[in-house]
Each structure stands twice: as structure tokens, then as C-alpha cells.
């Protein structure tokens, strides 16, 4: 389930018949969609999204239809049957990004796949009040996150168009497993989409992206994805060192009694270790989908941790094999010693 939650960013049934007022069917390599009359493709889209269309509703008012698409790697496994926890985490992510957000009622749209998350909200974005619906669904091994927005007063006028286009959105026919991606393409996508995830972290975990790189493999080193993260908190170094110590103790098989008897000086920092690993895990979990089809394969995921001054305090890494075990649900948090051994702190 972790992989599906990480996308922010974020898997087929026969596609519904096309609406009579569809203007054209747009077929791209990764997807196809029916575009209705009066909707035009936008030249730019918000960070974290890939494709966008808009329709003028009134003077200075527009409805927008944006979406992100991503091939899920085989190791992601199947989504959970109960997605309520995913919805709660999605609501939390939206609240972190838009402080004035409130949930509003709305019907579940029809899609050419399985809906994992669907929610309608009213919020202020870029100084304007909008009603927005997010729909996250899977069609085969393709994941789509669709964002439909309109002024609250114009929402009902745009809803039929939203639902028609959403129902027509589906993957183009190709085998995801046979696709390969260049390093340059993977880096570009990560640099574009990771900031959206980082921007959803709570204020006390404000984090920004410093750089993304892929190091070549050698006789002594594996091909590695490096994502440098800058945490804007003065105690990030202490938190990193406390987390490293805790994971070392868990790897050694220490009991809860041992873990609860940490030296007094590191207890305050250690109390943040769970959150630290949570956000680090979200980053490599999201990155997984963007580099899963790189060839040669990326064999290690490394996150150097920097403080607010850009100084390196350490790094956390995990192998592709171990990451597959976690994402596929083959290893759970109950296997504390095993999980702790999968993370390497430098």
C-alpha cells in the first residue's frame, strides 16, 4: 500500500461509449481521452501534473481538468481492498497544502478502472476560491490522478463535462513491462513532481529538493538514484543521528525495554524518528515509479540529508531488492529487525 500512497503523487474495464458532443479523441502514447467542445489544451500545468485542459465559463472564470499518469512498477503489488486509510492520508495532504480547505459532498464519478481515492473540496488556490475534486484510479498498471476545478458557483455547470472526460480517460495499449526510460527523462520527471510531495509535508517538516542525480554503476558500486533533501529545521542533524542509533538497536534485536531506555540527551530527537523515516519513505516511494523502468536498472535509492544551510548531515539508502520487499508487502513493520537492517545510514 505504501507505493500507492506515495504518488502524490500517486490500477481495466471496457471504456464507456463516447459522449455525443465529444470534439475529438486525443490519443497519446501513454493515454487517450475524449476532449469536449469548448475545451482547449493548456500550455502549462501545475507542478506534479502532466496534462491539462480548460474551458471558459464566464468572464475571468475557467474550469480546469488536469491529470498525472504513471506506470506502476510490478513490485508495487496490488492496491489494498480497504482504501479508507488512503483517503484519510489524502485528506491530510490536501489540508497541509490548503489550510482553509473543507470537504464537501459529491458523487463518485465513473472511470475506466478502479477508484482508490475520490474527494471533493472547497479551498483557496492562488487567491481564488474553487471547488476541486481529486480522483485517483488505476487502469491496468497505469495510475491516474485527475484534478477537476471550477469556481463554486460554476461547479454544476462544469460537472457533466468533468464526468464525461474522466470516464473516457484510459491508458493507450502497450505493455508497461516492456517500456524503458532514460536517466534524463527520469531525472526531469522527478525534479518536476517531487516538489509537490515535499510541499505537502507539515510546516515543522518543511523540506525542499536540492538535486536529483543518477550515478553510473561500477565494478564496486551499484547504479544509484540520489535525491538530496534540505530540511528547514535546526535539529535535523540530531534527529538523523538519533534515528541512526535507533535503527542500529532494532537491527541488533534490542527489545522495547532497551529502546525505551535511551540516553536522556537523545530522547527528544528520537521522538521525531518515526516521522523522519515516514517522510523519507514517502520520497523514495514516489521516486520508485519514475525510475522503475530505467535501463540499466537503478539498484539503490539514496537520500542525502542536508540542513537549512545546505550542509550534509548524513544519508539514508535502501536497495531495490529490499524496497521491493517493503512495497510488495513481503516485509511488514512487525519484522522490526529485518526492516531496520534494510536501511543504511552513512
Task: Give pLDDT tens digits along the chain (346 positions).
Answer: 333 333 323 222 222 233 334 457 888 888 999 888 889 999 888 878 899 999 999 888 999 999 999 887 766 677 888 888 888 888 888 888 899 999 998 889 999 999 999 999 999 998 999 999 999 999 988 899 999 999 999 999 899 999 999 999 999 864 444 457 788 988 988 888 888 778 878 889 999 999 999 988 777 778 999 999 999 999 999 999 999 988 888 888 877 777 777 788 888 898 898 889 888 888 887 787 788 778 888 899 999 999 999 999 999 999 888 877 776 666 666 677 888 888 999 8
Distance CA 38, CA 55 (A): 6
For residue 175, the model assigns a pLDDT of 42
Architecture in CATH of 2-178? 3-Layer(aba) Sandwich (3.40)
94 vs 119: CA distance, rounded Å: 10
CA dist., res. 193 & res. 201, Å (int):
14
Evaluate whether 10 touches 94 at the Cβ level (below 8 Å).
no
Distance of alpha carbon 343 from alpha carbon 325, whole angstroms:
13
Strand pairing report for 344-345 and 312-319: antiparallel
Element (H, E) at 40: strand 40-41
Tally DSSP H helices, then E strands, for the chain. 10, 15
Query: What pLDDT does residue 339 have?
Result: 82
Q: 1 near 88, Cβ under 8 Å?
A: no
User: Within 10 A of 227 (CB to CB), how many other CB atoms are there?
Assistant: 22
Report the distance separating Cα 138 and Cα 255, nearest Å: 41
**What is residue 15's DSSP assignment?**
P
DSSP 157: H
Closest CA to 132 of 30, 46, 18: 46
Take residue 133 and report the three cell numbers written for it.
Answer: 475534486
* Global pTM value: 0.58
Identify the pLDDT of residue 174.
Answer: 44
Residue keyed to cell 464525461: 164
Q: Do strands 102-104 and 61-71 pair parallel, antiparallel, or not at all (unpaired)?
A: unpaired
Integer Cα distance of 127 and 99 in angstroms: 12
User: Which of 280, 277, 289 lies closest to 327 in space, CA to CA?
Assistant: 289
With a CB cutoff of 8 Å and minimum separation 6, the contacts of 293 are 71, 73, 176, 179, 180, 181
Task: Identify the pLDDT of residue 22.
Answer: 42
Q: Domain limits of the chain?
A: 2-178, 183-345
Amino acid at each position: 500500500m505504501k507505493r500507492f500512497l506515495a504518488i502524490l503523487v500517486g490500477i481495466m474495464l471496457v471504456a464507456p461509449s463516447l459522449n455525443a458532443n465529444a470534439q475529438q479523441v486525443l490519443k497519446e502514447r501513454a493515454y487517450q481521452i475524449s476532449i469536449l467542445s469548448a475545451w482547449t489544451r493548456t500550455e502549462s500545468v501545475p507542478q506534479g501534473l502532466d496534462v491539462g485542459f480548460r474551458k471558459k465559463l464566464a468572464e475571468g472564470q475557467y474550469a480546469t481538468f488536469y491529470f498525472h499518469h504513471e506506470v506502476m512498477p510490478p513490485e508495487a503489488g496490488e492496491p489494498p481492498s480497504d482504501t479508507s486509510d488512503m483517503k484519510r492520508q489524502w485528506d491530510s495532504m490536501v489540508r497541509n497544502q490548503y489550510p482553509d480547505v473543507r470537504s464537501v459532498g459529491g458523487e463518485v464519478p465513473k472511470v475506466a478502472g478502479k477508484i482508490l481515492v475520490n474527494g471533493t473540496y472547497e479551498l483557496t488556490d492562488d487567491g481564488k476560491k474553487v471547488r476541486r475534486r481529486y480522483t485517483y484510479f488505476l487502469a491496468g498498471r497505469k495510475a491516474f490522478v485527475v484534478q477537476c476545478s471550477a469556481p463554486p458557483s460554476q461547479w454544476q455547470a462544469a460537472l457533466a463535462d468533468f464526468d464525461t472526460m474522466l470516464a473516457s480517460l484510459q491508458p493507450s495499449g502497450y505493455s508497461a513491462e516492456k517500456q524503458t526510460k532514460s536517466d534524463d527523462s527520469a531525472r526531469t520527471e522527478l525534479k518536476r513532481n517531487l516538489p509537490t510531495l515535499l510541499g505537502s509535508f507539515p510546516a515543522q517538516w518543511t523540506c525542499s529538493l536540492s538535486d536529483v542525480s543518477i550515478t553510473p554503476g561500477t565494478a564496486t558500486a551499484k547504479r544509484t538514484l540520489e535525491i538530496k533533501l534540505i530540511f528547514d529545521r535546526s535539529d535535523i542533524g540530531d534527529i538523523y543521528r538519533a534515528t541512526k542509533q535507533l535503527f542500529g538497536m532494532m537491527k541488533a534485536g534490542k527489545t522495547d525495554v532497551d529502546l525505551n531506555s535511551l540516553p536522556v540527551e537523545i530522547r527528544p530527537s528520537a521522538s521525531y524518528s518515526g516521522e523522519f523515516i515516514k517522510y523519507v519513505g514517502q520520497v523514495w516511494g514516489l521516486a520508485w515509479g519514475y525510475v522503475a523502468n530505467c535501463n540499466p536498472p537503478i539498484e539503490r535509492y539514496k537520500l542525502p540529508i542536508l540542513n537549512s544551510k545546505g550542509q550534509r548531515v548524513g544519508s539514508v539508502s535502501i536497495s531495490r531488492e529490499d524496497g521491493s520487499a517493503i512495497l510488495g508487502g513481503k516485509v511488514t513493520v512487525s519484522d522490526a529487525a529485518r526492516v531496520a537492517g534494510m536501511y543504511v545510514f552513512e
